[in-house]
Chain A
Amino acid sequence: QKEVEQNSGPLSVPEGAIASLNCTYSDRGSQSFFWYRQYSGKSPELIMFIYSNGDKEDGRFTAQLNKASQYVSLLIRDSQPSDSATYLCAINEDGGFKTIFGAGTRLFVKA
């Protein structure tokens, strides 16, 4: 049973701080890793993906992957109240099309 684990939160950070969201996965064969953001009452939207060990930066977002530790994280710099949402971690096997989602971490950015 492939699993993706996330702390459900809520994670509360003050505006302007760095929010750190973490995710662990059980399947060592996982090759692709994704972060989705889901606002309340809306469907998820893709914000980051990462395939290689290390860091990948896109604007205020940085995804970090450590395959040896089976760990992927998302850092949000200069957090804004508009970043308040549930963040879903997702993994995909190499060549597979079925994405496994974590249950999500609720982030609350206080103004």
Chain B
Amino acid sequence: GAVVSQHPSRVICKSGTSVKIECRSLDFQATTMFWYRQFPKQSLMLMATSNEGSKATYEQGVEKDKFLINHASLTLSTLTVTSAHPEDSSFYICSAELGTQYFGPGTRLLVL
């Protein structure tokens, strides 16, 4: 139990385009999901807390207009990186709360 999926697992896009990443809790409902970013050899950085049916809560320094989060159902949260630039290239990981956090497999984004 407590399986979280992410799609896509890997994406390459051109600078200036937008990329949507999906995070799904497959066998449980999650009112709260989290989005993290991790650069190579660095620790997880919490970007935002996604709450079903309400606005996401962003961490300090994370631009809410650039990283759009939608948590429209109890099993799905999406992160859209708008107007992506090469510095947005990173490993994006979501997690869903069920007593503790269960992580999705991550999405590796490369912006050319």
Contacts from A to B (Cβ < 8 Å): 32, 34, 36, 41-46, 49, 88, 90, 92, 97-99, 101-104
Q: Which of B91, B93, B97, B103 interacts with A97 by CB under 8 Å?
A: B97
Contacts from B to A (Cβ < 8 Å): 32, 34, 43-44, 46, 49, 91, 93, 97, 100-106
Q: Which of A32, A43, A102 interacts with B93 by CB under 8 Å?
A: A43
Is there contact, CB below 8 Å, between B43 and A103?
A: yes
Least CB distance from B64 to A in Å reads 18
Tell me the bound Cα distance from A42 to B108 in angstroms.
10
Q: B residues within 8 A CB of A43?
A: 93, 103-106
Q: Which of B34, B93, B100 interacts with A46 by CB under 8 Å?
A: B100
Q: B residues within 8 A CB of A46?
A: 100-102
Is there contact, CB below 8 Å, between B106 and A104?
A: no
The 16 sampled A-B contact pairs (Cβ below 8 Å) are A34-B100, A41-B91, A42-B105, A42-B106, A43-B103, A43-B105, A44-B44, A44-B103, A88-B43, A90-B101, A97-B32, A97-B97, A99-B34, A101-B46, A102-B43, A104-B43
Closest chain B residue to A33 by CB distance?
B100
Least CB distance from A23 to B in Å reads 13
Tell me the bound Cα distance from A50 to B3 in angstroms.
21
Is there contact, CB below 8 Å, between A101 and B43?
A: yes
Tell me the bound Cα distance from A99 to B91 in angstroms.
19
Is there contact, CB below 8 Å, between B100 and A49?
A: yes
Least CB distance from A104 to B in Å reads 6
What are the 10 closest A-B residue pairs judged by CB atoms, nearest first?
A103-B43, A43-B103, A43-B106, A43-B93, A44-B103, A97-B97, A99-B101, A97-B32, A101-B44, A43-B105
Other than A88-B44, A90-B101, give 17 A-B pairs with Cβ distance below 8 A.
A32-B100, A36-B103, A42-B106, A44-B44, A44-B93, A44-B103, A45-B103, A49-B100, A88-B43, A92-B100, A97-B32, A98-B49, A99-B100, A101-B43, A101-B46, A102-B43, A103-B43
Tell me the bound Cα distance from A45 to B93 in angstroms.
12
